[in-house]
Amino acid sequence: MVVDEGLGNSCYLFDLGDGSALAVDPPRDLRALRAAADKAGLRIRFAADTHLHADFLSGAVQLRHDDDATVLASAAGHREFAHHGLADGDEVDLGGLRLAALATPGHTDEHLSFVLSDGGRPIGVFTGGSLIVGSAARTDLLGPERTEELARAQFAALRRLARLPSDTAVWPTHGAGSFCSAPPGAERTSTIGRELATNPLLGLDEDAFVARMGSLGSYPHYFRRLAAINRRGPGVLDTATTGRLTALPAPAVRRLLAEGAVVVDARPARDHARAHVPGSISIALRPQFATWLGWLVPADVPVVIVRGADQDPADLAWRALNIGVELVGELLGGIDGWTAAGEPTASFRLVRPGEIAAHRRVLDVRQESEFAAGHLPGALHVELGALAGTAACLVDTPTLVMCGHGERATSAAGLLERAGHHDLAVFVGGPREWAEATGRELATGS
């Protein structure tokens, strides 16, 4: 299993026993999967996609091109590239082991789970975005008008999976950290028996299940476009050159900004707060980099990176490619190259617990569930993902932006700065640190 902690997804590499392997739900960034295959001495012979992913681009097309892998996917997905289309009940001989397609719509219309069997006995089931550990993947990705219908389909899909033998391993794609699923901190894999005993959704009747699936919170805007790209098939990449960032001198970056480009600052949030290209957006290079890049920057806007000398440009480029963003390049010399060219910088004041000035508006940009669990009394709440569209509507007044640690707040301050706001500060920490420093109670509820 290869886990992307940022996107919250698991890709599976299964040894078929003859020197070849099956890869299930491979991402476009195949570096970790290939490293695992090389370490085990395996050639990837099959690449299976459980559904048309909305949160990342599939690596199946790349595996077909590079490794001559057979792509296995739902025939109902109408993919526009060569693949072995499967319908409910179809089986594939993997050379002793067998892979059976099980229609499990709900997360998407064409969703398949894959039951892996040895001698007719199920070993495990790759459940993709149907049954996940402690929950089920969201059913609202096709719009509110389809949500109830898909939730009822998901209910039936989970019951179908629950009829597999209790010792059948459950291998989901979505898990903790994924905006396609709900429970944080859950284990990545399980068994049918364990889920029957512990998954609260499996104990609900259909109407209660539908009601529960309607409250999973917001999700990144880029989810609305990736399924269509996965249906067409992402472009094949030249892996020998992909991952490099073109170095752009300050005058070239300035011209790109004038033409509508966005500078994304991948340095740690505190470095960005001290000095940054005016109007740039801080998205620190951490596991969640791709999620926030896709959420905060429109798909058709050229992106220039500012990074620290110790940050890997390939890591930035591949994380972006995983969600279909091709970076234009990076600022030559980073922020020092910008200032050396005589260009101005901007900064945000960093505020520590106990230093909040009474005259400042407090803007909390965490998710709705986080805010409801505890926030500063009187704080204004706008989720970070919604701020780009609402920043211009907010009154320009001295503002302290806060989240749980500081990274999202720094991103939000950049969005406010781009919208013309002044006198911005970023809180170092979160509401809990404020409560501990001041001895005051947090407010709860929306």
Reading the block at residue 67, the tokens are 């490794």
CA distance 344 to 370: 36
DSSP 334-346: HHHHHHHTT---B
Reading the block at residue 325, the tokens are 């963003």
Residue 103: C-alpha distances to residues 73, 80, 94 (Å): 11, 20, 19
CA distance 225 to 203: 34
- Do 401 and 419 contact (CB within 8 A), yes or no? no
- Do 6 and 288 contact (CB within 8 A), yes or no? yes
CA distance 187 to 404: 23
Reading the block at residue 208, the tokens are 């209660």
CA distance 28 to 59: 4
* Active-site choice (11, 180, 393, 403): 403
**403 counts as catalytic:** yes
**Partners of residue 86 on adjacent β-strands:** 74
Residues 186-220 as b or e (16 or more Cβ within 10 Å = b): bebbbbbebbeeebebbebeeeebbebbeebeebb
Q: SS3 for 116?
A: strand
Reading the block at residue 56, the tokens are 């990342």
DSSP category for residue 27: B
Give me the residue label for tokens 């005589």. Answer: 342
Q: What strands, in cross-sheet order, belong to the sheet with 262-265?
A: 247-248, 329-331, 303-306, 262-265, 281-282
Enzyme catalytic residues: 403
